[in-house]
Structure 1
Amino acid sequence: MDWRCEWCGKPHEENDPPCDNCGHGTFEEAVVRRTDLADDGGLESTTVWVCTECGRTHTKHSPPCSRCGNHKLVKEEQRVDDDELSVPSYFDLVTPRYVLGLVVVLALAGLFVGGLTGVIDVPGFGNDVPAVENVPGEADTAGSIDLATVESAYLDTVNETRANASDDGVSRNERLDEVAAFTNQRLIKSEYGDGSLPTRDRIAELVGDSCQGGFAVETYTLQSSDYASGDTLGSAFAAEQFADSEISAASTTTVGVDTHTAPNGTVFLTQIVC
């Protein structure tokens, strides 16, 4: 189309007014958008119609103005520099705000991983007992002594002693066993490695509903080389415990127990008692 109505912008094949659409009696030559930018310093032009009252631009002469209702629009040629049409690179998007956001995300990710592995105590992180990595010593044996046997002999001796004192026996709780192992391993890592002790609040969070009336954490140590078997070592731990422990009280009914051998052969027994 080479001609269009000067008033409404309808295109026509020939300069033969009046307009088929609005009846206006004047046509103008249609303006074709330029694409040969090389002759104009890299600028691209296009024709728009500008309202004389509010300045709003329109793509064609179609009064009234869509913003203010004014019926007078004037033709203007707009030029757009190539720089305004260019797409920013990824490096242009790396603003200080973006960098700060990235640092915050990485810090939160570090807290998440630290809380998951037990390296960092994160209140409210979750109720799963985290694993403690790279704990010095042995979790299953003390030389030729099986630590599971030590734990069983310890509890058997405790219950026999309580029965002789007309107290009810204590029962072992799997959840408390896990919390006792977490606490014991963190204790050993703090003394023989580069770890730190968990806070009481962290232990309480992990204990959760397993202890309804409060809890206590107790740790005893004995040298494994002084005992010939798991039974004798477990009984010796019970004797240590009854010397000054809350577990001898009749109100104590539930325990969690863990034993771990330090690098120097010392066996740590840690228990959570309710």
Structure 2
Amino acid sequence: MKWRCEWCGKPHEEDDPPCDNCGHGTFEEAVTQVNQEVVEGGPRWVCLNCGRQHQKNSPPCKRCGGSNFERRTGPPEEDPLDEIQTGWLEVVETKYVIGYAAVAVLLGLIVLGAVGGITLPGFAADTPAGPPSIASPAGSGETVNSLSLAEAEDTYVDVYNVRRSGVGGGTVSRNATLDDAAAYYNKGRVDARYDNAEPPTRDGVSRFPLPCGRPAVVSYEVAYDRTPQSVNQFQNETALATALVDNYIERGNRIQRSDAGLIGLDIHVGPDERVFVTYVLC
């Protein structure tokens, strides 16, 4: 007893679908003997991506790997690639393959540059190099009446060391780089107060070549217009410096830790006699 495919009529020895010609899943008994050959023009499955003809609906395509097949009947269609026994990838010109690969690499680099994975021209991180500039705000950072603020800064450190030693904090020495960092932060605060400039940042301080990685930045201001004594009534720099140190400590602020024993200091007097003090400790 012979069996044949209900769809394309391909004969089979056993009732064991699917059909190896069209992939149909149901056989029927052949009442009469049928030819073993598939009739020319019988059903076939054609890949819609590259045109490769298949006997079964069994993706993927043996040529291009596509999965979209279409059932067709009639005489087989001519396929020039069948004659040369090659696939689509083999007939693509080398220069185009190289071009596509170069474009893919370029696009990948552009994406990495945009997300910050690598640095490319035009995609460099917007991070300024070197220390930020030090502002020249209103008021004075040199003298107030007959008092030298530079001398007041030196005396401030001396008085500050006395107060530190009194609580077991050890003494500190002035450092020029820390002085610049303190001036950047202090004068930036003055500029922001009186001229609405952008305020300084801790990141700006870290852009200086500091002798430590995590400096302590202490910044405060003293408004002598609220007390009986105006800033221009101090008799000398020692009196002014002592008042500034004690004003900070008397507010209940603690003495900051200094691992390297270094300090940078800036004192600036605003146009309304408000005194701004910033020191940076390492």
- TM-score, normalised with respect to structure 2: 0.48
Q: Which has the larger radius of gyration?
A: 2
